Structure 1
Amino acid sequence: MTSVREDARTVLRSCRTMDRYERFRRAAVDRGLPGDEVDAFADQLRFAVWAGAGGPEGEGVGQEGGLPRLPVGVGWPSGGSGSPLPFIASVDCAALPRAEGLPLPVDGSLLFFLHHEDDLEADPGTDGSGFARVLYVPVGTEAVVASPPPDHDRRTFFHEEIPFLVPERRLSAWVEPVLPEWVEERDVEFESEVVKQVFDGLEHLDELCELVDELWPEPDRSSSFRIGGYCAAIGGQDPPWTRMAAANLAERLAGEPDLPRSERTRLRRAEEYRLIREWVPLAQFHTGSDFYYGCFLIGSDDLAAQRFDGMRSFTMFTE
């Protein structure tokens, strides 16, 4: 007969090997919540890697600011104007905690660069602004700490006195659950018909949300860099999904000028929902400015295949 202590160890090992979706489903079913609702809710639930200032208790997973480690022979990434792009952060993929549904590389490093002022002014309908860059450095690549670009201390930003180089800060990371805004706000007025159908079927939405909060309590720490989840709502502007959907439909419906506005709205919302399902935030972060927020998106298939040149950048204005 096993002891109580041995039984507890068995349960603990089971919890460690159980993925978060399975843990959520089992807990929901144990509470008597309908299985179809649990599955529909879990289909909207995402897990994201959040990072913030590293503490002595956490393993470092990367850095914000400072100087990047670039592969030998690779120059500092530059923007469309030929000027070097400010370095935002880097993460060690092998050190990052795993988040279900987020197919990040298992090793190597990701480096992020952005000139937020120039990127904000770029055409959102293009494939890339030229003022944002993600560089993947495979494991085993010889890399060195980059030297600052020539004349890096000259004025880089037009509107604010922000230095090109900022002090390095070590990052630690953890995983948090993330739900779409319409779930958090209980408001689907401006969502697609698919979302409205899902919402109407979630009769136990409050209980499901409460369960998420119980299983993964909000940590007493703030993040400055996020990978995965959903795009944060910033200011009063359209989110990246809406801007991408509008650009896609403008091209697709160019030959249908008489299409009713209501139908255009329906198609845009459907396209937006498709994009939300197929694209994921590769990085969301505060810039050195109080008024600009960075958001890099990438298709899930591109992320899984490590095709980082497919990244799209949408810098957002916070006011």
Structure 2
Amino acid sequence: MDRHEQFRSAALDRGIPQDEADKFADQLRFAIWAGPSAAGDEVAGQLGGLPRLPVGMKWPGGDYPLPFIGSVDCAALPRAEGLGLPTDGSLLFFLNHEEDMEEHPTTEFSRALYVPAGTETEVAPPPPGHDTRTFFHEPIPFLIPESRLTAWVQPVLPDWIEERDVEHKADTVKRLFDELKHIDRLCELVDDLWPDQKRHCALRLGGYCREIGGQDGPWTQMAFDNVRSRQAADPDMSGEERFRLRREEAYRLTKEWVPLAQFPTQGEFYYGCFLISSDDLAAQRFDQMRSFTMFTE
């Protein structure tokens, strides 16, 4: 029995109607969280340090090398329902948060690199001149101190369920919220089945995008761009219709795009978020990842 079926079965045992349990389960996601490993933990990746790159591959970024955030060993990760990560090989993440923050989405200042199992790799030396280099605007090192990561599965709910607030959400979400008459009991059930492990998380794979600071989240930004394109073809579109479409589009995008990786950066006010479509994830097209560095203030 997978975790969604476990949830539905437990909800029915508590007398919650099946249609509500099903609708709620459709919003429930399972993410892989990774944090510092302790004695006895299985190591599933590393934060910082030097990456293992395919033999002969140059450090990503070319003439402007990208800081290495960390990597995960896909074979050592626990399985999370609905998150179609590779079952083996490794995923490496690179990000220059200062430059990436200037434009959304970018590909020039971020990279998600998949190294298939069996690839001959080697520990990459620091790019020339970068072993002691710091960022231009911040006194933080280019190289992040290395630490080992262990991973676990965490249930994740959208913000509108967590906060019970749909005032600025799509009409589709408002209707769904009204239909969830037992939402408090359903949330309690999630907590009972999968209690918070109270462990520090340094890297999140899957789930929902975190809301950071006062800016729009990645899905909202993508929705804004998509609706602006529609508006160009329909210049008479009213402001009210634009807002409605943006909210509906943002909700639709949450179904199609998944956070590949989310992580705090070494910069005090920057947070990294890599998104990928479910189709590209299934096809292992990691070059199609979109990066949305967020400002926390």
Alignment TM-score, normalising by the size of structure 1: 0.91
Conservation of the 8 A alpha-carbon contact between 1:132 and 1:313:
yes
Looking at structure 2, the residues matched to 77 and 25 of structure 1 have their Cα atoms a distance apart, in angstroms, of: 44
Of 238, 246, 257 in structure 1, the residue corresponding to residue 216 of structure 2 is 238
Offset of 1:139 from its aligned partner? Answer: 0.2
**One-letter amino acid of the structure 2 residue matched with residue 53 of structure 1:** P
Offset of 1:154 from its aligned partner? Answer: 5.7
Of 192, 202, 213 in structure 1, the residue corresponding to residue 180 of structure 2 is 202
**One-letter amino acid of the structure 1 residue matched with residue 20 of structure 2:** E
Offset of 1:101 from its aligned partner? Answer: 0.3
Of 10, 13, 29 in structure 2, the residue corresponding to residue 46 of structure 1 is 29
Looking at structure 2, the residues matched to 134 and 23 of structure 1 have their Cα atoms a distance apart, in angstroms, of: 33
The match for 1:77 is 60
- After superposing on structure 2, the runs of 4+ consecutive aligned residues of structure 1 that deviate more than 4 Å are none
Give CA-to-partner distance per residue, 1:47-102, whole Å, 9 cap, x none.
000000011121000000000000011110006xx310000000000000000000
The match for 1:316 is 294
Looking at structure 1, the residues matched to 171 and 89 of structure 2 have their Cα atoms a distance apart, in angstroms, of: 41
Runs of 5+ unmatched residues, structure 1: 1-17
The match for 1:66 is 49
Looking at structure 1, the residues matched to 193 and 185 of structure 2 have their Cα atoms a distance apart, in angstroms, of: 12
Offset of 1:156 from its aligned partner? Answer: 4.2
The match for 1:213 is 191
Offset of 1:166 from its aligned partner? Answer: 1.8
1:19 matched to 2:2? The reply is yes
Conservation of the 8 A alpha-carbon contact between 1:63 and 1:91:
yes
Count matched residues: 297
Looking at structure 2, the residues matched to 286 and 109 of structure 1 have their Cα atoms a distance apart, in angstroms, of: 20
1:36 matched to 2:19? The reply is yes
**One-letter amino acid of the structure 1 residue matched with residue 74 of structure 2:** C
Root-mean-square deviation (CA, aligned residues, Å) is: 1.0
Matches within 5 A, 1:100-249: 100-122=81-103, 124=104, 128-153=106-131, 155-249=133-227
Looking at structure 1, the residues matched to 43 and 234 of structure 2 have their Cα atoms a distance apart, in angstroms, of: 53
Looking at structure 2, the residues matched to 89 and 209 of structure 1 have their Cα atoms a distance apart, in angstroms, of: 32
Conservation of the 8 A alpha-carbon contact between 1:52 and 1:173:
yes
Conservation of the 8 A alpha-carbon contact between 1:155 and 1:161:
no
**One-letter amino acid of the structure 1 residue matched with residue 287 of structure 2:** D
Larger Rg: 1
Looking at structure 1, the residues matched to 230 and 93 of structure 2 have their Cα atoms a distance apart, in angstroms, of: 32
Alignment TM-score, normalising by the size of structure 2: 0.98
Offset of 1:143 from its aligned partner? Answer: 0.2
Offset of 1:158 from its aligned partner? Answer: 2.3
**One-letter amino acid of the structure 1 residue matched with residue 13 of structure 2:** D
Matches within 5 A, 1:271-282: 271-282=249-260
